[in-house]
Amino acid sequence: GAELPELMNAVVRMVAECLGVEYAKVLRYLPNEYLFILEAAVGFGGVRVGTEKVDGGTDSQAGYTLLSHEPVIVEDFDAETRFRGPALLRDEGILSGISVIIQGDEAPYGVLGAHTRTLRRFTRDDINFVQAAANVLALGFKRKAAEEALSKSEEKFREIAQRSFDMIYTCYHDRGITYMSPAVTRILGFTPAELIGCKCRDYVTPVSLAAWKEGQKKIARGEPVEGLEVEFRRKDGTAAFVELNESPIMEHGRVV
């Protein structure tokens, strides 16, 4: 549930601490630039976070990791022949390191790496641990993307509802009305704010209460209500005759 910067900082700290290394980092891949950007780090200095860029090709361990689709271990950068290593690592005198891919929804998000200035032979357990940490980050990124998509969807819904000539609302069993569109003022005379938290049944007139209850039984079964003619009580005490269309809101397989 943490915000992404907080999550990334916690992960690089934990990786460095548990592996006993001086450096750990998260690099986000920028496919349009064929580069990585440093998003979180331990040991490299805070001034580089958000600005330091690393080559996305085979000149860097991160780039090689992305291209090879599997964890990459370096026991001695001085003897490494697969890639030269970026300035980010060379400037620190780093000799050994491990890097794994952080998966995204459709493409890799980037790379999680851990490095040390001493010669180190990383074990299979080390690889599994760093990959597990990368998987935690991947879940965090996926959650954030889902939240943003939901927020955009809700914003679009509200834009449509705010402009609709019809009264549009959301009502929960336990919380009452949670959203009411501005059209309610034209139809019932109330402002949206006056109805938030109220129960819909409190505004159904006695003559329509039985029909409304039958409609709610359909909602409870997960079925929509279509074209139900109901009288609602207006703010001035008069009745407004409306056609009601409702759809059940489901959460975890239950009508709420």
Look at residue 251 in the predicted model and tell me its pLDDT.
85
Asked if the model's pLDDT at residue 86 lies above 80, the reply is no
Environment class of 236 (CB within 10 Å of its CB; exposed 0-12, middle 13-18, buried 19+): exposed
In three-state secondary structure terms, 227 is: strand
Q: Mean pLDDT over residues 228-251, rounded?
A: 94
Look at residue 47 in the predicted model and tell me its pLDDT.
61
As a whole-number percent, the residues of the chain with pLDDT over 90 amount to 61
Cβ neighbours of residue 151 closer than 8 Å, sequence gap 6 or more: none
Environment class of 78 (CB within 10 Å of its CB; exposed 0-12, middle 13-18, buried 19+): exposed
Look at residue 102 in the predicted model and tell me its pLDDT.
94
Q: What are phi and psi of 140, to 5 degrees?
A: -65, -40
Q: Mean pLDDT over residues 55-78, rounded?
A: 87
pLDDT tens-place string over residues 194-235? 999 999 999 999 999 999 999 999 999 999 999 999 999 999
Asked if the model's pLDDT at residue 99 lies above 80, the reply is yes
Asked if the model's pLDDT at residue 84 lies above 80, the reply is no
pLDDT tens-place string over residues 150-186? 788 888 888 888 888 999 999 998 899 999 999 999 9
Asked if the model's pLDDT at residue 108 lies above 70, the reply is yes
Look at residue 61 in the predicted model and tell me its pLDDT.
87
Asked if the model's pLDDT at residue 20 lies above 70, the reply is yes
Look at residue 197 in the predicted model and tell me its pLDDT.
95
**Reported confidence tier of residue 46, pLDDT bands at 50, 70, 90:** low
Asked if the model's pLDDT at residue 45 lies above 80, the reply is no
Report the distance separating Cα 224 and Cα 205, nearest Å: 21
Look at residue 57 in the predicted model and tell me its pLDDT.
80
State the average pLDDT for the chain.
Answer: 90
Other C-beta atoms within 10 Å of 15: how many? 25
| pLDDT greater at residue 118 or residue 105 | 118
Task: Give per-residue burial for 23-48: e unless 16+ CB within 10 Å, then b.
Answer: bbbbbbbeeeeebbbbbbbbbbeeee
In three-state secondary structure terms, 179 is: strand
Q: Mean pLDDT over residues 145-150, rounded?
A: 82
| pLDDT greater at residue 67 or residue 236 | 236
Look at residue 88 in the predicted model and tell me its pLDDT.
80
Look at residue 156 in the predicted model and tell me its pLDDT.
85
Report the distance separating Cα 204 and Cα 199, nearest Å: 10
Report the distance separating Cα 74 and Cα 90, nearest Å: 13
Q: What are phi and psi of 8, to 5 degrees?
A: -65, -40
